[in-house]
Amino acid sequence: MRPFSAIPTISLRTFSDDSDYERLCDLWLACRQSFGWEGAITADDLKNQSQWKQHFDPYRQQYLVFDEGHLIGSCAHNWSDMGGNLAVFHVDGMLLPQYWQTDLPEAMLNLMEERSREMAAGLPEEKQCFLSSWLPQKGEAVLDFYLAHGYQKTRYFIEMVRPTSLPLAAYPLPQGVEIRPVDEEHLRQIFEAENEATHDHWGHIEYGDEQYLAWLDDRRCQPHIWKVAWEGKEICGMVRSYVDELENQTEQRLRGYTEFISVRRPWRRKGLAKALLAESIRMFRDMGMQETALGVDTENPSSAQALYHNMGYTENRDKTYLVVTKPLVRQS
């Protein structure tokens, strides 16, 4: 494998300042089709995403790749403590399609893996370490590249869509449970309740104060249209609905997302998720949205996919994402 220094005209640098988010946004748009990405993104979205990452400093772990001074790619690495003896090292990148037949993809991946090994060297020996990346299935060339370098398909996530015009049965709330408007004073409690309720979700990461601030800053944080269920002073579950106006404009559609669905253990198997989803669907119908959508782990242990089927959602096979992983071999 040739290092960057052996590839003529190519240079790279680490993240400089917030103006780089604008550059990365333009690069994302240029790479959108080849990677199979959909929707829309802004520089603020990219900044918010970086704040969600654990053990990540963009000024040390985000690289911009240039060809004769023109930005052509970027790559980044960080790691997450998954609890117990598991650590996952995330390697991400994007590159203009005309460079995929060069040595650059391998040089970028090698850099990310090497930096991950350096970070893993500081972890206890008993930690099992894996490399991981999140990829759209539509980006076949990118997916094939990872598979050719030892990564394996580990998990599938798929989008499901439901027209708001479909009939919707009555889904009553469990006795003693009610949906209340969200007040600002409840936001931290909602964040903590969601964090707790998703503990048994695959890939769950324990979030703290830094992620809470990113949660508040996310443009998908729209508390005025959330459906949060309470029993007394306890939060039972929620659907943190949102509308992505920019995506709707880009894709020329009227869609509301019935997303971030969670129910705390004491209130599971009581029909609460269905009741919250139904309330969210009705709300979007009344708002003039033509469809609702959500994402689901196809191996969700609570059979979430079947639940959504029962409520009229169907899979959008064109929007399937994969998590690919491979063991990280520690430095000796």
User: Which domains are seen in the chain, by residue range?
Assistant: 4-156+322-327 (3.40.630.30), 167-311 (3.40.630.30)
pLDDT tens digit sequence for 107-164 = 999 999 999 999 999 899 889 999 999 999 998 999 999 999 999 999 999 999 999 9
* Cα Rg of the chain, angstroms: 21
d(CA 7, CA 119): 26
Q: What percent of the chain has pLDDT over 70?
A: 98
pLDDT at site 3? 59
The closest alpha carbon to 35, from 73, 90, 67, belongs to 73
d(CA 90, CA 265): 30
d(CA 39, CA 231): 36
Where are the extended beta strands (E) located within 128-233?
Answer: 128-136, 152-163, 178-180, 227-231
Write the DSSP assignment of 77-125 as a string of letters.
EEEEE-STTEEEEEEEEEE-GGGTTSSHHHHHHHHHHHHHHHHHTTS-T
